[in-house]
Chains A and B, each alone.
Chain A
């Protein structure tokens, strides 16, 4: 296995939606439906032969609220059965899709439920040979600042399908790396589930907007009792990482550098990753796992909830495009 530098992957920032749409067009656009302007507007304006809305059960849309199938827009509604796992939903969606090596796929990750996005990455790594464009739209602000609520009706922390790893009975030096966002209750949930692991928090810095870092820290501090592992300081240089909130590649690199450093001093018995921050960082966690953790005592774990807010942000700031050859990551 050769060492990988995730920063070599292609990413591009577009200052306006117009800049993005005039430079890119696709065969299929896949997006997760919710009420955010930054999801709907991007979906409407991107140029693609087929546009697919995935409607996830966690947004709890009623039949009357589901968007209409118009022209090239197809709607894949999974709201009927909330007990379906991320794997079942994504597999079902792709089972009716014909993809060739020439199909240009664009996935707007902005509205995705995280475990579904993570599984999608793993699924595409096996199913698609050519690179895929992932796009992520920065918001201007979170609706209620640090009081914004994202997820409700927590059920359990479990491994994300496809990221379940080969774990080690020896748990004397387990690590849990949490991508800590605003959703402090979920940080607590995941920390409590792996209580014995040394917890490391990865924060989005620089954040999507200047004021968001402070809001993020304020929220994450609420989970301090569970996530601090008894440390004296909340921001501890040995247990705090920073990566840009909208950069999956630096996120993956930061995790890799940290894990490699720790491994050099003492072998990590089990590594758990839990991306709870931006979707861009979630993508970073997933690609790090694909490239570095397959077949190892590592997994991605997630605090599953039955219900997510349909709209948490306001405005459209920038649009990011990340181009990733997922299949290449598997064989690295």
Chain B
């Protein structure tokens, strides 16, 4: 039987409360460990935003009572008192909130019903925890008295309830009230009735703020406690429903506070019902964007995900070679691609190799066969394919520069320069080869793979971490697929064998496909955004592999903000929020007031378009290009793409005039 895949679980929702603790790894940045970030002693509400898979749920669940009580173990009472807070974890997905809308009732009615419903819901969750604390600590509590205070002081005056003798009975009462709302909504959709028969028995927020206040005053163990509602999956709420929570955040009353977790795109509004005003960052809430923080603190992130992986392996029963996590070298378990061996086998193709086939084809209509033969011979250097491909690269550059004249002489110059490179190592820095390789080495190497129609090897642990762009789940999913392939190919990873290159290539390919499928955007914009990313990927790939690429390591582009309209802004927002694109710091053009926004393609999908895993050159997109790729002018994309690509590919024609620039030149 195979050993378990240590990376099988990739989402925190699949963990039990006990596993949430067991698999917990802190982010050890000097100023941003998770406890420092959560500030459980701070009354200031907090928004914890992040891409899907950035770790929001794991963090929020870790600080919830249900996980903490497991960590407290035998010291339950003392450690609870030491922590001085109760984390009440709530998943908005469980509210099934989309039923609080429809044509039966007015918006105002739905808003009221939802507010009432969520107050009842939160209160039941709170009572569940209170019951458990009282049971586990044996603290003396007059439940009858407290329940009486809650029902008589918090509910509307004209309501008489049967006395609740315990928190459990009070919870049943709240559940019965919640059930009335549930049944009303269900029945109205069957019958189509338009009048609500549910009576709202408590003012908005009164239970949520009132119950903790009473508990903090009357139950000794809760003295000076903070009650933190950890509201996760906020993106599942409709706009008006978020407004209600935002209003609670604004109007919060001690000892209650909130930590709200949402995906980037999940914050549909920052408005409140207090005059439609926004909640204010800084004074009314703090905000953290988890994956942005990870990206900004790259070294800490690398260590963080390494520890996550080590923890997975340990928990799955693998014993690792080293106990020292800081120095632990994960890359030893992932085979590195052997470039020299690959190039050796490629060199055997001689002048049938991809770059010469393409070159001969483009020269065929321009030069005599003997001249072509001389050029190919001058540029050949089978001892080192990267240098040979660099010869071809320089040749194309010079072709472009010379407007196609003297190509045989150009090839001779290149040959001589390479000879001097070989003979005089000290003088290499002055050669064009050196200058080109300094910037374009990765592109030239990848060009060799592409021209040989082989997959570019996105392999090695460091590269896999890099591809996760600050989103731990992306790494775990990639490792999961790689592990499966490794086992399927007969390897015994982390025990007898290292993970082979082939398994890594296949695993990365699957993870990349999964991402594109998983990040689908619901609604009418989904198809549009998916088309945009395809156009963008194709555009960047063709430029990257052009004969004379406009930039090195091309996976990023920048856009002049003056060039985008609301539609394009919306598409760009979607691409960023769903992590197709990663925003990189803005730049201001020198001596200009023009403001640019720069994005790079998520490196997990880089393999789909053979893009590099490093960002150097940034392609400045023109207004027309922006419109054709991202906007409503996509019909024009093909023409524009061809024009652009032809500008960078031999024979460097001007397609708009329908003629090659060099057709008239006598070669």
Contact = CB atoms under 8 A, between A and B. Distances in A.
Interface of A: 85, 87-88, 91, 119, 122-123, 126, 153-156, 158-159, 161-167, 169-172, 174, 185, 188-189, 192-196, 222, 225-226, 229-232, 270, 295, 299, 301, 306
Interface stretch (B340-348, B381-389, B514-522, B570-578): B514-522
A182 B255 CA distance: 51
Given A166-B183, A169-B125, A232-B5, 4 more contacts: A169-B128, A169-B178, A185-B517, A301-B96
Nearest to B14: A230
Given A161-B190, A195-B13, A166 B182 contact: yes
B9 A162 contact: no
B35 interface: no
B486 interface: no
Contacts of B523: 153-156
B137 interface: no
A202 B372 CA distance: 65
Nearest to A85: B102
B518 A188 contact: yes
B182 A165 contact: yes
A126 B10 contact: no
Nearest to A272: B96
B91 A196 contact: yes
Contact of B190 (A123, A155, A170, A185): A123
29 contacts: A85-B189, A87-B189, A88-B192, A123-B190, A153-B523, A156-B522, A156-B523, A158-B99, A161-B190, A164-B189, A167-B96, A169-B94, A169-B125, A169-B128, A169-B178, A170-B128, A174-B94, A185-B517, A192-B518, A193-B93, A195-B14, A195-B93, A196-B14, A196-B93, A225-B514, A230-B11, A231-B8, A232-B4, A232-B8
B66 A171 contact: no
Interface string B1-39: 000110011110110010000000000000000000000
B179 to A, nearest CB: 5
Contacts of B182: 164-167
Interface in B60-118: 66, 90-91, 93-96, 98-99, 102-103
B23 to A, nearest CB: 11
Interface string B500-544: 000000000000001001101011101100000000000000000
Given A230-B9, A232-B8, A171 B179 contact: no
B121 interface: yes
A195 B8 CA distance: 15
A192 B186 CA distance: 24
Contacts of B514: 225
B96 A159 contact: yes
B383 to A, nearest CB: 46
B189 A161 contact: yes
Nearest to A158: B98
B98 A159 contact: yes
A272 B517 CA distance: 24
Contacts of B99: 158-159, 164
A229 B14 contact: yes
Contacts of A189: 522
Contacts of B94: 167, 169, 171, 174, 196, 270
B185 interface: yes
Contacts of B526: 153-154
B468 interface: no
B613 interface: no
The residue among B124, B185, B522, B526 with the most chain A CB atoms within 10 A of its own CB is B522
Interface string B175-204: 000110011011001101000000000000
B124 A162 contact: no
Nearest to A83: B103
B477 interface: yes
A171 B124 CA distance: 12
A226 B53 CA distance: 12
Contacts of A192: 518
B10 A225 contact: yes
Nearest to B190: A162
Nearest to B236: A193
Nearest to B89: A171
A226 B14 CA distance: 10
Contacts of A122: 190
Given A87-B189, A225-B477, A158 B124 contact: no
Nearest to B128: A170
Contacts of B124: 169-170
Interface string B551-583: 000000000000000000000000000000000
B369 to A, nearest CB: 47
Contacts of A301: 96
B539 to A, nearest CB: 26
A196 to B, nearest CB: 4
What are the 4 tightest A-B residue pairs by CB atom distance, in nearest-first order? A230-B9, A161-B189, A158-B98, A196-B13
A219 B499 CA distance: 28
Contacts of A222: 517
Contacts of B98: 156, 158-159
A270 B95 CA distance: 11
A211 to B, nearest CB: 25
B520 A153 contact: no
A162 B189 contact: yes
Contacts of B125: 169-170
B324 to A, nearest CB: 29
Contact of A153 (B13, B102, B189, B524): B524
A112 B182 CA distance: 27
A223 B89 CA distance: 28
A154 B11 CA distance: 23
A207 to B, nearest CB: 25
B457 to A, nearest CB: 24
Contacts of B8: 230-232
B183 A295 contact: yes
B189 to A, nearest CB: 4
Contact of B96 (A153, A158, A225, A226): A158
A87 B9 contact: no
Nearest to B510: A225
A167 B125 CA distance: 13
A234 to B, nearest CB: 11
Contact of B192 (A87, A165, A169, A170): A87
B518 A225 contact: yes
Contacts of A306: 524
A153 to B, nearest CB: 7
Contacts of B183: 166, 295
Contacts of A161: 189-190
A106 to B, nearest CB: 22
B638 to A, nearest CB: 24
A162 B102 CA distance: 13
Contacts of A163: 186
Which has the most chain A C-beta neighbours within 10 Å: B9, B93, B124? B93
Contacts of A87: 189-190, 192
Contacts of B179: 166, 295
B522 A155 contact: yes
Contacts of A165: 182, 186
A123 B477 CA distance: 44
Contacts of A167: 94-96, 182
